[in-house]
Amino acid sequence: MTAGGGSGEVEAVVAGVFREEWGRIVATLIGLTGDWDLAEECAQDAFARALQRWPYDGVPRNPGAWLTVTARNRAVDLLRRKAVGAAKLREAALLEAAAGRGSGAGGHGDGDGEEGREADAGVPDDRLRLMFTCCHPALAFEARVALTLRTLAGLTTAEIARAFLVSEETMSKRLTRAKNKIRNAGVPYRVPPARLLPERTASVLGVLYLLFNEGYAAGSGADLLRRDLTAEAVRLARLLARLMPDEPEAGGLLALMLLHDARRTARLDAAGEPVPLEEQDRTRWDAAAIAEGVRVLEDALLRRRPGPYQVQAAIAACHATAATAAETDWAQIAALYGVLSRLVPSAVVGLNRAVAVGMAEGPAAGLALVERLEAAGELGGYHLLPATRADLLRRLGRADEAAAAYRAAIGLAPTGAERRYLARRLTEATGPRAL
Amino acid sequence: MRYMLLVCGDLPAYEAMQADGSFLPDCDAWADEMRRRGALVETGGLRPPDDATTVRVRGGEVLLTDGPFAETKEVVAGFSLIECADLDEALEAAARHPVARHGTIEVRPLLPA
């Protein structure tokens, strides 16, 4: 035990431990009891008890083990109390055996230092099983996202509801329904076998990527909670990459997140308007995050099994490591978009490739690709299609056609900020009277 | 755990099954494979909804209606009751079922006995 500080200090320690340990405790207890609600309840109890006890007893040497043992003992007590049938009693006895309470080591219920040491060796890391179960494709995508935030990240139902702009009641129902289905339909609590792993891993990666994007797309101020989603997504991606060291796409996703997040503070100007990549103040990019992102990506690429996240991270790395916008390696970015469009054929990727080719080989080459997309009837109604066309026409000196395309883009742009940005480009292209 | 695979389809799905030469042999092969693993409890195809009679008892009186309980485009055309370790196994069995390539298969867990 370390010396106990003031209760404020202990609260800060508990808050820090919470972020690290919540998911591990819930995952362990689900593994032991198979009961998701019980697992959450006991994890909550353990943290409440830590807040009561640590100011007096001091913070344990291994807070995570203390919390896990306390939560596990709580589960034994609750199961015993609920045990009306022999089956439940057997369950409690099994759990008790797992908790090592028969050995006489440690006190009852509170998990002192002795128990902490014992638990340290015996507690498996069940968080990967939990991740795969939360992201099971038999659950609706929005339920996978909510369940991941609740059970792995420890966000409250109210917080998740606020982040996804639904009522707490709606979110509560969504979580309850998902947990009921897992129990009633026999969704296994495990890391899937090899034959199912690629598909299931894609689902886990997809959920984490959505979390990241939800947070990344959020503005400033009132959207603070949504921005927290970005931090949670990075934390979970870091965990996944550590738990699946042989899956290069996990590293690819983590790298992609780090490289995007590194530009977070430079993305908006003082008025909260988005600043395009080429105009961002690169001294405000987070150099440490970029370095880590590049390192994680290089480790992933060494496995020679490229996937969409690794390729997108490689594109982000090209941008993030260019000292100035003019020094961007557009030829490499264009080649990477070519790879990406083979891995995930999509018109949006095709449009991004057109932009990169327009920079690498000149606007005429980019425009040819845009026109091919238009001819295929792709991306109708998507404002970035005419916006891209407008930029390429402007660079070709075809001002009138550029102005028409900018106006079409303004008419389709979904947000005021994007409309203002496009209006600014229109005036740049044609002079103020063109508006 | 036991799962009921409800084999469903609409008219175009039915026609596609008729046109699919390997459909019936594949159905037999699926059932044989499931039996070999001891996973098939019971299986059967249903005659079309035209041959259905719906029964209700209201106020002690038996009411009979010609046809299915609900008129829908999708009809239940058959079922397989299977025994699996978990949902993943049941979903894999459903995905291997030849009907899945034309119609749909609804996987419903049974209440515990």
User: Å from A377 to nearest chain B CA?
Assistant: 28
CA distance A78 to chain B (A): 24
pLDDT value of position B69: 75
Q: Smallest Cα–Cα separation from A421: which of A242, A277, A229, A225?
A: A277
Residue A87: its chain B contacts at CB < 8 A? none
Crossing angle for the helix pair A399-412 and A416-430, to the nearest 10 degrees: 170
Containing domain of residue B7, as a range? 2-109
**Nearest residue on chain B to A133, alpha-carbon basis:** B88
A140 to chain B, closest Cα gap in Å: 15
* Greater model confidence, A120 or B14: B14
> Of the candidates A108, A125, A114, which has an alpha carbon nearest to the alpha carbon of residue A73?
A108
Q: Per residue of chain A (435 residues), what is the pLDDT tens digit?
A: 455 456 688 889 999 899 889 999 999 999 999 999 999 999 999 999 999 999 999 999 999 999 999 999 999 998 888 766 666 666 767 776 666 554 333 334 444 444 444 444 455 579 999 999 999 999 999 999 999 999 999 999 999 998 888 999 999 999 999 999 999 999 999 999 999 999 999 999 999 999 998 888 765 554 666 778 899 999 999 999 999 999 999 999 999 999 999 998 898 888 877 788 889 999 999 999 999 999 999 999 999 999 999 999 999 999 999 999 999 999 999 999 999 999 999 999 999 999 999 999 999 999 999 999 999 988 888 999 999 999 999 999 999 999 999 999 999 988 888 888 899 989 887 765 544
Interface contact flag, B85 A188, Cβ < 8 Å: yes
Going by C-alpha positions, the residue among A64, A43, A191 that lies closest to residue A130 is: A191
CA distance A312 to A348: 13
A196 touches chain B (CB under 8 A): yes
State the Cα–Cα distance between residues A286 and A268, nearest whole angstrom.
15
* Length of chain A in terms of residues written: 435
Contacts of B109 in chain A (CB under 8 A): 184-186
> Six-digit token pair at B71?
């008129």
Q: What is the ipTM of this complex?
A: 0.90
What is the per-residue pLDDT for A108?
41
Is there a contact between A186 and B87 if contact means CB atoms under 8 Å apart? Answer: yes
| Distance of residue A188 Cα from the nearest chain B Cα, in angstroms | 6
Q: Are the beta carbons of B109 and A186 separated by less than 8 Å?
A: yes
Say if residues A28 and A73 touch (Cβ distance below 8 Å).
no
Long-range contacts of A102-108 (CB under 8 A, 24+ apart): A106/A69, A108/A73
Q: How far apart are CA A131 and CA A147, in angstroms?
A: 9
Q: What is the CATH number of the domain that holds B81?
A: 3.30.70.1060
A136: tokens are: 């099971």
The three-class DSSP label of residue A410 is: helix
Residue A262 CA: distances (Å) to CA of A212, A273, A293, A320: 13, 18, 9, 8
Question: In angstroms, what is the C-alpha Rg of chain B?
Answer: 16
Alpha helices in A104-196 (DSSP H): 113-122, 127-134, 141-147, 157-163, 168-184
pLDDT of residue A228: 83
Contact map slice: B 1-40 vs A, CB within 8 A: 1, 3
Does B91 sit within 8 Å of A186, measured CB to CB? Answer: no
Residue recorded with tokens 């090209």:
A318
Give the distance from CA A171 to its chain's centroid.
19
- Say whether residue B112 is in contact with chain A using an 8 A CB cutoff: no
- Mean pLDDT over B4-30 rounds to 92
Half-sphere exposure of A54 (CA within 13 A, CB side): 28
Look at residue A255 and give its three-state secondary structure: helix
Query: In this structure, what are the phi and psi dihedrals at residue B43, rounded to the nearest 5 degrees?
Result: -150, 155
Contact with chain A for residue B84, Cβ under 8 A: yes
Q: Is A258 helix (H, G, I), strand (E, B) or coil?
A: helix
CA-based nearest distance B106→chain A, Å: 12
Question: Which of B1, B2, B87 to mutate to test binding with chain A, by most A CBs within 10 Å of its CB?
Answer: B87
Would you call A196 and B88 a contact, using CB atoms and an 8 Å cutoff?
Answer: yes
- Residue of chain A whose Cα is closest to the Cα of B109: A185
Give dist(CA A87, CA A77) in Å, integer.
Answer: 15
- How far, rounded to the nearest angstrom, does the alpha carbon of residue A241 sit from its chain's CA centroid? 12
Residues of chain A found within 8 Å of residue B90, distances taken between Cβ atoms: 186
Residue A430, pLDDT score: 74
Q: What angle do CA B107, B112, B113 make, to 5 degrees?
A: 120
Q: What is the mean pLDDT of residues B93-112?
A: 96
Q: Do B87 and A187 touch (CB under 8 A)?
A: yes
Comparing CA positions, the residue from A343, A342, A314, A347 lying closest to residue A329 is A314
Instruction: Provide the H-helix boundaries in A262-329.
Output: 287-301, 308-320
Structure tokens at A268: 């908006």
pTM of the full predicted structure? Answer: 0.86
Q: What are phi and psi of B83, to 5 degrees?
A: -115, 120
What per-residue confidence (pLDDT) applies to A116? 43
* Count: domains in chain B: 1
The C-alpha angle A255, A228, A295, rounded to 5 degrees, equals 15
Sheet holding B104-109, edge to edge: B40-45, B75-83, B2-9, B104-109
Of B84, B85, B91, the CB nearest to A138: B91
CA distance A135 to A182: 11
Question: Which candidate, B110, B112, B111, B113, places its Cα nearest to that of B5?
Answer: B110
SS3 assignment, position B107:
strand
Residues of B in contact with A184 (CB under 8 A): 109
Other residues' Cβ atoms within 10 Å of the Cβ of residue A128: 18
Residue pair A230/A208 in contact by the 8 Å Cβ criterion: no
- C-beta atoms of B87 and A138 within 8 A: yes
